[in-house]
Amino acid sequence: MSSQENCEILLPIPTLQPLDNDAAAISDDFQRYLTYHLGRFKGCTPAYIYQALSHTVRDRLMPHWQSTWLNHLQPQKRRAYYLSLEFLIGRALGNNLLNLAIENPTQEALKRFSADLEQVEEREPDAGLGNGGLGRLAACFMDSCATLALPVIGYGIRYEYGMFRQRIENDEQVEEPDHWLREGNPWEIERAEYHQRIQFGGYSEFYKDAHGEERVRWVGTQDVLAIPFDVPIAGYKNNTVNTLRLWKASATDEFNLQEFNQGSYTEAVQAKNEAEHISMVLYPNDSSENGKELRLRQQYFLASASLKDAIRLWKKGGGGDFKTFAADNVFQMNDTHPTIAVAELMRLLIDEYHLNWDEAWNITTQCMAYTNHTLLPEALERWPVYLFRRLLPRLLDIIYEINARFLRLVSRRWPGDTDRLRRMSIIEEGPVQQVRMAWLAIVGSFSINGVAALHSQLLVDGLFHDFYELWPHKFNNKTNGVTPRRWVAFANPALTQLVSSKIGDSWIANLQELEKLVPYATKKHTAFHKAWREVKHANKQRLATLVKQDCNVDFNPDSLFDIQVKRIHEYKRQLLNILHVIHLYIRLKNGKTDNWVNRCVLIGGKAAPGYVMAKRIIKLINRVADIVNNDEEIGERLKVAFIPNYRVSSMEIIAPAADLSEQISTAGKEASGTGNMKFMMNGALTIGTYDGANIEIMDAVGAENFFLFGLKADEVQALRHDYRPWDIAAQDADLKAVLDLIRSGHFNDCAPGEFEPILNSVLSANDPWMTLADFRSYVDAQDKVATAWQDQEHWTRMSILNTAHSGFFSTDRTMLEYNRDIWKLKAGAEI
């Protein structure tokens, strides 16, 4: 049933016309879906309202989806493909209503059925097909590419189970499977006719073709089908709908048939199960690899299916001579996860399309581009050679050949430098030989970028230095961003309205226009300042309701909302935050309330299920919250909550409500951060280290509107050789009191010594995160926060300036830079 073989007659489909968007038309369509499509005859549950409304809205995307798709398929239309194992999309309904500009008539239409739009939106499960920043970045990129009408197609995996749901039970994280597709997904279209066959196992066979040419084919394989599901990505009010194509794994028919013929019915069904395992679950590790075979299968499955599909589309659009392939196509690889694509494209060009090595290598290295997301050694992907040999033998042949040719190049450039050869080899020698995926990506790509200025600099100074010396022109920076549609216009409608009342609403698609708010930051605009504070207060009330509901903690919206939400990781230093909270608690218990401001500290984030220390940190946070919140002496002066199941839809409530954004990673460790940008756009002030995009945020808003603290990246490096955390603790009475209180068992839960591993880690001379080194400067910066908060006029001014100067951090800017420097696509209808 391959699409190429099957000669079904294509029936012509007419050009769709845009549908009416008034409340009456929406209401009619909604009612028709509820009855004729979903078969609800009398009453119905809210789940069906959500389904019917989503179909009604999806219909309104269709005409634009059709025209955009046909436009993208034009001959010689250059396209970019964004390859990512993760797309952390979140909910679609509200965002699509916003981008189609049909929120008001939809609200009105629903009223006729006594339904409330906000409640209907709440029914939608998050599409949690990602871990954190990297996956969310991919989703923001898709939004911006559609808004800029760039011909970009996203390729990912349609995981049956997305990011796990996190519950807190007895102060500890408990993971539950996220079966997000259970009630169906109205935002996807299955296109089984465009399936691809993906090979695993088997061996390479050499043969002579009809013209006597030596060729290789990959035979004896166990195949899996990749079925595409398309998700529409609407641009903002621009009649453009791009495509995110997600692959689902499915068993091949003949695989089953063979087994059936041998009478092994159950084995056949099991084989089907194994094939379908590939797209069953997202690996929940953020910033660390775990080397599981299934994960390598996922990576190859995505890379192979996407490349074959891209070639198919290119041929369909008139492509045929591979000489123009690199001019027509570019692939952006989101981290090393999909970089087996380098070897797979070589295989396809050589084995299937019979190009010679040099032709294939020229094409590959002209259309592959790689984005690095981390310097953490534990995140650098390496695969054992034996695993490759078993799973992807033909790919291993090709990687060896790429490496042999590459090492010849290196030794010509640096004769006799064997140490360099060893360092730069794609194959790492050792007890177990490993394939270094980042090296494969660099060797195979024409562009390699980091995700913030500091990170890109550290890459070429350190990790990638050898490659930088060889190919300086390949390296560049593309500072991350976030989409202002989801993160401001949708998440913070009150702020959006207030801003637009002063500067119009074109800033939503051109975020630099927020600069026009600068004059309103001066204190003479008292009415605007008051309105600004009222918006924030209402957003804080909304968050307080959520915190009450999910944590049973009372947050008073008049207090300072001090928030850190992100994956739980030692480098992000949630520990430093909680040490400060304990310090505040001790101050209150000792009556040291000078310069006090009432604070609500909110922390949230998921820990990788196998990351023991991260889970212990979650427990400490919850234990501290328990003690602090239930102490009557403390009362409203300090509240602490851990919000469970942090995800995109909770960030939509959290970011608009923050006064203070905690971005406190060890300098040099956070590649960029994007949570920091969402908070800034929504008028939060940042307390942060000189790390990742924090640096660019501070440059944009001015140091006087930012609470900087801590060692810089080079200072962290310099201190490593002589780090003595116990001396720091001995010399700082406040820090000593905090550590002593933890050690005393004050926060323990009937388990003696349960937080000892935490104390040991921060007191170790080898603590890579150097938490204690930054304690004093963090506490001092927090004291400056308190001082600033006392002057509400001053705080409001700083808040407005943060929003006003956040324009640079729109992914629209990021995408224009990718396009200018890497992709070179023409926007819209241009060819």
Q: C-beta of 817: minimal distance to ligand PLP in Å?
A: 19
| Options 77, 295, 525, 566; binder of ligand PLP; rule CB under 6 A | 566
| Residue 452 touches ligand PLP, criterion: CB under 6 A | no
Choose between 567 and 616: whose C-beta lies nearer to ligand PLP: 567
Spatial contact of 104 and 638, defined as CB atoms under 8 Å apart: no
Q: Which residue lies nearer to ligand PLP by CB, 347 or 647?
A: 647
Q: State yes or no: residue 569 binds ligand PLP (CB under 6 A).
A: no
Q: SS3 for 275?
A: helix
Stretch that binds ligand PLP, among 51-59, 577-585, 670-678, 714-722 (CB under 6 A): 670-678
Q: Which residue lies nearer to ligand PLP by CB, 196 or 806? A: 806
| Shortest Å, Cβ 702 to ligand PLP | 22
Burial call 718-746: b when 16+ CB within 10 Å, e when fewer: eeeeebebeebbeebebbeebbebbeeee
| Residue in 486, 583, 647, 797 binding ligand PLP, rule: CB under 6 A | 647
Q: Which of 572, 616, 669, 797 is catalytic?
A: 572
Near ligand PLP in 678-737, by CB under 6 A: 678
Q: How far is the CB of 629 from ligand PLP (least distance, A)?
A: 25
Among 94, 105, 125, 133, binds ligand PLP (CB under 6 A): 133
**Active site includes 572?**
yes
Residue 675 interacts with ligand PLP (CB under 6 A): yes or no: yes
CA–CA separation, 662 and 562 (whole Å): 7
Q: How many residues does the chain have?
A: 831
Decide: is 284 part of the binding site for ligand PLP (CB under 6 A). no
- Residue 237 has which token pair? 């009010």
Instruction: Give residues 581-610 in contact with ligand PLP (rule: CB under 6 A).
Output: none
**Shortest distance, position 647 Cβ to ligand PLP, whole Å:** 5
CB of 678 to ligand PLP, least distance (A): 6
Half-sphere exposure of 296 (CA within 13 A, CB side): 24
Q: What are the start-end ranges of the E strands in 194-260? A: 196-200, 203-208, 214-219, 222-234, 241-251
Report in angstroms how near the CB of residue 136 gets to ligand PLP at its nearest: 4
**Is 151 or 683 the residue whose CB approaches ligand PLP more closely?**
683
**Residue 770 falls in which region: left (phi positive, over 0), alpha (psi -120 to 50) or beta:** left
The alpha carbon of 601 is separated from its chain's Cα centroid by a whole number of angstroms, namely 25
Min. distance of Cβ 437 from ligand PLP in angstroms? 22
Catalytic-role residue among 394, 455, 566, 583: 566
Q: How far is the CB of 523 from ligand PLP (least distance, A)?
A: 32
Residue 282 near residue 162 (C-beta atoms within 8 A) = yes
Query: Quick one: 296 or 680, whose CB is closer to ligand PLP?
Result: 680
Radius of gyration over every alpha carbon of the chain, rounded to an integer in angstroms: 28
Position 132 contacts ligand PLP (CB under 6 A): yes
Query: CA 478 to CA 448: how far, in whole Å?
Result: 10
Between 566 and 797, name the residue whose CB sits nearer to ligand PLP: 566
User: b/e for 138-151, b at 16 or more Cβ within 10 A?
Assistant: bbbbbbbbbbbbbb
Per-residue tokens: 34:
């509820």
* Cα–Cα–Cα angle for 41, 42, 45, rounded to 5 degrees: 100
Pick the binder of ligand PLP from 618, 651, 697, 801 (CB under 6 A): 651
Selection from 527, 559, 543, 774 nearest residue 679 by Cα = 543
C-beta closer to ligand PLP: residue 27 or 694: 694
Give me the least distance between CB of 485 and ligand PLP, in Å please.
14
Q: Which stretch binds ligand PLP (CB under 6 A): 107-115, 258-266, 407-415, 672-680?
A: 672-680
| Structure-block tokens of residue 533 | 């504070």
Q: Which long-range contacts (CB under 8 A, 24 or more apart) does 586-589 make?
A: 586/734, 586/737, 586/738, 586/741, 588/633, 588/634, 588/637, 588/638, 589/633, 589/634
Contact window for ligand PLP (CB under 6 A) among 178-186, 392-400, 646-654, 712-720: 646-654
> Which structure tokens are listed for 486?
């989801």
In DSSP terms, 708 is beta-bridged to 688
Determine the Cα–Cα distance for residues 392 and 200; give it in Å rounded to an integer: 6
Of 698, 635, 658, nearest in space to 537 by CA: 658
Does position 648 bind ligand PLP by CB under 6 A? yes
Catalytic residue (choose from 674, 771, 803, 811) = 674
Beta pairing, strands 241-251 & 152-157: parallel
92 Cβ contact partners less than 8 Å away, ≥ 6 residues apart: 54, 124, 127, 187, 231
Cα 143 to Cα 145: distance, rounded to the nearest angstrom: 6
Parallel/antiparallel/unpaired status of strands 127-129 and 87-90: antiparallel
Q: Interhelix angle for 46-72 vs 103-111, to 10°? A: 150
Instruction: Tell me the β-bridge partners of 450.
Output: 477
Q: Which region, judged by CB under 6 A, interacts with ligand PLP, from 145-153, 311-319, 644-652, 696-704?
A: 644-652
Cα(130)–Cα(107) distance, rounded to whole angstroms?
A: 31
Given the complex with ligand PLP, which of 60 and 337 has the nearer CB atom? 337
Q: Which of 60, 165, 248, 373 is catalytic?
A: 373
Contact 374, 692 (CB under 8 A): no
Work out whether 136 is an interface residue with ligand PLP (CB under 6 A).
Answer: yes
Which CB sits closer to ligand PLP, 65 or 164? Answer: 164
The interface region with ligand PLP, picked from 36-44, 129-137, 583-591, 753-761 by CB under 6 A, is 129-137
Q: Is 523 a catalytic residue?
A: no
Q: Is residue 162 a contact point for ligand PLP (CB under 6 A)?
A: no
Binders of ligand PLP: how many residues, by CB under 6 A? 12
Could you say which of 382, 569, 678, 805 is catalytic?
Answer: 678
Using the minimum distance from each CB to ligand PLP, give the nearer residue, 126 or 309. 126
Q: Which residues of 322-336 are buried (b: 16+ CB within 10 A; e: fewer)?
A: beebbebbbbbbbbb
Q: Segment near ligand PLP (CB under 6 A), from 239-247, 377-385, 674-682, 796-804?
A: 674-682
Q: Which is nearer to ligand PLP, 224 or 713 (CB)?
A: 713
Our finding on whether 674 is near ligand PLP (CB under 6 A) is yes
Q: Is there a catalytic annotation at residue 674?
A: yes
Per CB under 6 A, 202 contacts ligand PLP: no
- Which residue reads 């080194």 in tokens? 773
The nearest distance, CB 134 to ligand PLP, in angstroms, is 8
The CA distance from 439 to 745, in Å, is 47
Strands (E), 582-628: 599-604
Indicate which single residue of 94, 673, 688, 807 sits in contact with ligand PLP (rule: CB under 6 A): 673
In the complex with ligand PLP, which residue's Cβ is closer, 105 or 132? 132
Tokens of 622: 């919850």
Q: Which is nearer to ligand PLP, 248 or 566 (CB)?
A: 566
**Catalytic: which of 474, 529, 567, 580?**
567
| Nearest-approach distance from CB 96 to ligand PLP, in angstroms | 18
Q: How far is the CB of 452 from ligand PLP (least distance, A)?
A: 11
Measured from each CB, the residue nearest to ligand PLP is 675
CB of 679 to ligand PLP, least distance (A): 9
Q: Active-site positions?
A: 373, 566-567, 572, 674, 678
Give contact residues for ligand PLP (rule: CB under 6 A). 132-133, 136, 566-567, 647-648, 651, 673-675, 678
